[in-house]
Structure 1
Amino acid sequence: NGNGNIVATRADGNAIENYGNQVRCYDCRGLGHLSRNCIVKPRRRGATYLQTQLLIAQKEEVRIQLQHEEFDLMVDANDLDEVEEFNANSILMANLQQASTLGTQSNMALVVDSYAPMLSKRFDHELDDKPTQ
């Protein structure tokens, strides 16, 4: 219009312009319309195109399957680590339990007697640190 403002006008039919340039359809390569507005029948795909797409799909399927197998191996390895840790803890607990039951009362008394001076010193020290009321 005369005051210098740009006025957007709607194009007639399917014709669309983009800043003075006509747009091109990606389906039929025609000018003036978008692919979503295309009225031309879609092209038939050639046998080589379909074979290529089939090979791509098969490779993708194999890749996905390999990823699942790798994931399963990682899960199995993680489970193996947990099993080994559990076994090590079980063996340690069994050894400690066996050592405590194998010790006779006299051996246990010797162990307690050898620790008694250290325990009494620590206990006396803790009593000295407590405030009297």
Structure 2
Amino acid sequence: NCTARPRRRDAAYLQTQLLIAQKEEVRIQLQAEEYDLMATATDLDEIEENDNNVIFEVTDVEQDGETVEQ
């Protein structure tokens, strides 16, 4: 019967594991911020598209000689 003792970790190993975990956490946070920025950019694209549609409609109505109320 051979009982395995838990391996004792030295300070350097534990420090390395801590740094790896911290880098992973930063990567996840940066990825979340990147997704937020992409969502904001998509929202801005939609706003610009809506603005262009409004400008087109106003121009079209003005060419027909109708009054445009703002």
Q: TM-score, normalised by structure 1?
A: 0.45
Specify every segment of 5 or more residues in structure 1 that has no aligned partner in the other structure, as ranges. 1-13, 15-37, 103-133
Partner of 1:80: 44
More contact order relative to length (CA 8 Å, sep ≥ 6): 2
Report the aligned-residue RMSD: 1.8
Q: Deviations over 1:68-91 (max 9, x none)?
A: 111111111111111100100011
- Structure 1 counterpart of 2:53, one-letter code: N
Residue 99 of structure 1 and its aligned partner are, at CA, apart by 2.7
Distance 1:61 1:91 in 2: 45
Q: Determine which of 15, 22, 28 is the counterpart of 1:51.
A: 15
Distance 1:86 1:48 in 2: 57
Q: Determine which of 32, 35, 49 is the counterpart of 1:68.
A: 32
Q: Deviations over 1:51-83 (max 9, x none)?
A: 110000000111111111111111111111111
2:63 is equivalent to residue 99 of structure 1: yes
Percent identity, please: 61
Specify every segment of 5 or more residues in structure 2 that has no aligned partner in the other structure, as ranges. none
Partner of 1:41: 5
Which consecutive segments of 4 or more residues in structure 1 shift more than 6 A?
none
- Structure 1 counterpart of 2:60, one-letter code: L
Residue 40 of structure 1 and its aligned partner are, at CA, apart by 1.1
Length, aligned pairs only: 66
